[in-house]
Structure 1
Amino acid sequence: MDIPLIIFLVFVLFIFLSSFFTVKQQSSIIIERFGKFLSVRNSGLQLKIPLIDRIAGRVNLKIQQLDVIIETKTKDNVFVKMKVSVQFKVIQEKVYDAFYKLEYPHDQITAYVFDVVRAEVPKLKLDDVFERKDDIAIAVKRELNEAMTTYGYDIINTLVTDIDPDIQVKNAMNRINAADREKTAAEFEGESTRIRIVAKAKAEAESKRLQGQGIADQRREIARGLVESVEVLNRVGINSQEASALIVVTQHYDTLQAIGADANSNLILLPNSPQAGSDMLNNMVASFTASNQMGELMKKNNKKVKPKTEEHQTGHQAPQPPENPEIEI
C-alpha cells in the first residue's frame, strides 16, 4: 500500500474520531464555531464538526463552597475575624451567562461577602454578633442572590462558621466568664452551707425536744410506779412513810447491783459505804417525823390565832367551839 494513502487514511480516522466527545455528569460544555457561541452540550456522547467547532470551556454544575475570611470591627470597637462559607452552584439553564458574563466568580462572591459583613457587623456589639450570626448569614445570602442570579449562579446557603475576636478580648471574656462562674459557685456553696446549718439546728432542736419528752415520760412512769408500789405496800399494812423508805433503800441497792454488774463502769454512787443504806433510811425517817411535827405545830398555831382575830374585829369574844377529843386526837 502506498504511504501517502496510509497517511491520508490515518488523518481521516483522526478527523472522524475527533468529531465525537463525551460530557461528564453534572457538567456542561460550551461549543463555539469560528469563535462564536454555538451551543451548550450536557452529559453524554456528543458530536461536533471537526476543525470547525471547538470546545470553548467546561462548566461545573456541582455545588461548590467558598470560604471567605473577613476582619471587621463591632459597634463596641472590637476587631473580629469572621469566616463565612458560601455554598453556590451554576444554574443549568444559565450556563451561557455563567461562562460569558462573569470572568472570576469567586472574586465576585468574595467582594459581596465583604461588603455585606462590613455593613452589618459594625451595627452590633460583640455579644450580639455571636447571638445574631444567623441574621448576618441571611443578609449575606439575600445580597448574593440578588447579585449573582444575573450571572447564572444560585446561592444555596451561607454560614458564619467562625467568629474570632482579638486575643486580648478573648482573654478578658474568659476572665469575666471565670469570675462569673466562681461567683455562682460561691453562691451555691453558701446556700449549701446554710441548708446544712439549718438542717443541723432543726435536727438538734428535734433531738432536744424528744430527749426532754423522753425524760418527762421516764419521770412520769417512775412516779406512777412509785405510787403503785406505795398502794401495794399500804394494802399489807405498811404506811406511806415506811413504804417510801423501803422503796428508796430498794432502789439504792438495785443501783449498786447494776453498777457492779458492769466491769467497765466508771460510775461511783455516793455515799457507797456498807452502812449507807441504813443511814439513808434513818435520815428519811427522821425527816418524815420532823415534817409531821412541824405540820401539827402549824395547825395548832392557826387554831389559836383565828379566834383572836375574830374577837378583835367584832369587839365581842368569839364563841369557843366545843371540845372534841376525837378531833384533837
Structure 2
Amino acid sequence: MNKLQMIYEQAKQRTANGQVASYIPALAAANGDLFAVSLLSAEHEIELGDCTETFTLQSVVKVISFMVAANYHGIEEIMHYVDVEPTGDSFNSIVRLESHNNKPFNPMINAGAITIASLLPGETMFEKVKSVTTFLEQIIGKKVHINNEVYFSEYQSADYNRAIAYILQANGFLKSDVEEALQVYLQLCSISVDVSDLAKLAFYFATNGKESEAICNKGVINIAKALMITCGMYNASGKFAAFIGLPAKSGVSGAIIAVVRNGEIEQLQGPIGIGIYGPAIDQVGNSVAGIEFLMHLSKEYDLFCL
C-alpha cells in the first residue's frame, strides 16, 4: 500500500464522525459511508474509493455561477451587487443583510449565490441555468443534467433561502424576481456529477483554464481562486487556509474541489485537480473524510501553496 492509499484509508475511517445533510430530504438518503477521491494531472488520473457514485454539486456550483456572471458582466458591475469579503457567519446567515442593508459579503454564501443567479446571462430561468451548465460542460467534456429529485426536495424546503431572496429584493440586489432567482440557484445546486468531474473542474483552476478552450477571462479565474481560499469552505475557510493551504470549494452533498497549482503526488506532476465526495459532513457543512484526506495530503506531499 503506497502513501496515497494509506492517506485515503485513514481518512475514510472519519466518515463515522460525520452525518449526511438532513435538512434537505433528498440528501438525507445518502450513504454516509461512501468516500471517493480523484486526482488529475495533465497525463494521469488516480481514483480511490467509490468513484462510480453520482451526487449533486450543491455549493461547489457557486464558484462556477460567479465566473459565468462575472465573465459576462465584468467584475466592476458584479461588485455593485456582491462583495468579495469573507465572513465568519454561516452560509445561510441572514443577519447582516437585515441589520445593515448590505449587499451580500461574497458569492460563496447563499445570499451572494442567489444574487449571482439573478445576474446570470439569459432572459428566462432556462437560459440562466443553461449558461452555467454549458460552461461546466466545456470544462468537464460531457453533458450534465439536473437531479430533479434533489431540486424539488430543495425547492420544497427552501423557506430560509426564500426569506433571504425577499430581503435581497427589498434592498435592490436582485435582477430578477424572487422565485426565478431561487429556482435558478436551486437547479444549479442540483447538477449531478461524479468525483472525476470534480477533478476536471479543479484541474481547470490549477491550469488557469489553459487546458480548456478560452471560455473565461483570466482575471475572473484568479478572483474565483481567491474566493475559494477566503470563503470556499464555509465558516471553516480560515482554518482550512491556515492548515491545508489550497484553494478549495465544498458543498453539503460532501463534494469538494481542491486546486494544486504545482505539485507532485505519486506519478502526478505539475498542476493537479482534486475531486472528493464524502457525504458525511461536519457541523459547518464540509466532508469530514475529505478534510482529513486533504490535511494529510497537503502535509505529506508538501502542497501548501500560500
Structure with the largest fraction of strand:
1
TM range (shorter): under 0.3
TM-score, structure 1 length as denominator?
0.18
* Structure with the larger RCO, 1 or 2 (CA within 8 Å, 6+ apart): 2
Higher radius of gyration, 1 or 2: 1
TM-score, structure 2 length as denominator?
0.19
